[in-house]
Amino acid sequence: MAQITPEVVLSYTKPASGYLCPLNANTFGIEFLKFEIKEYDTNTVVYQVAREPDSEPLPEVLDPEIEDMIRSVKYTFPASFLKFKTVRTLLEFCVGPQPVSNLRMIERHFFKDKLVRTYDFEFGFCIPNSTNSWEAIYDVPEYPAGVINDYVTSPWAHKSDSFYFVDNKLIMHNKAEYQYVQD
């Protein structure tokens, strides 16, 4: 397999097929502990998940279905989410005993196989055995009513790939699918 670099994933024009690195590419013990999405103005929680760090490493060989369960998420959001003006996301993660020299996240969002948004964030260095957080507060562009309707009537057509690189080497790749329901 060709080396997957940030440039490569930034050139994708539709969701990646399959996972572009094995689970054990994450040799740094990076684990996500908490992810939260809130509407900023009302402080309403839209999504929240938290977990303790793994007590045991994953087995070497995983059933593909179980692997998919670990690496992909299906989100169901209220349609009003598409009308939020300002969104706040919080990601909390820990790293293992090795220093992480340069962590970068690239997230690509597609709707009906068309690129709609890219997030590209450089965390940089992570301290050994640290727990870190990244909170982003950002304004969401206003969607025309037709677009909102399109998202609502096309469940799971919104997909995303999240890629994590250390020194430009892919160490994690997760996927998500979204549906929006009328509230």
Partner 1 sequence: MRVLMVGLDNAGKTTIVKRLNGEDITTISPTLGFNIKTMSFKGYKLNIWDIGGQKTLRPYWRNYYEKTDALIWVVDSADLARLEDCRAELHNLLREERLFGATLLIFANKQDIASALPVAELEKALNIGSITKRHCRVVACSAVDGSGLLEGFDFVVHDISSRIYLFS
Nearest approach, Cβ of residue 123 and partner 1 (Å): 7
Residue (69 or 136) nearer to partner 1, CB? 136
Nearest approach, Cβ of residue 4 and partner 1 (Å): 25
Between strands 169-181 and 72-78, the pairing is parallel
How far, CA to CA in Å, does 103 sit from each of 43, 106, 128, 135, 148? 29, 10, 13, 16, 34
Tokens of 112: 């009906």
Tell me which residues touch partner 1 (CB under 8 A).
94-95, 121, 123-127, 130-139
* Alpha helix (H) residue ranges in the chain: 6-10, 64-71, 145-153
Residue (126 or 171) nearer to partner 1, CB? 126
Nearest approach, Cβ of residue 135 and partner 1 (Å): 5
Residue (72 or 101) nearer to partner 1, CB? 101
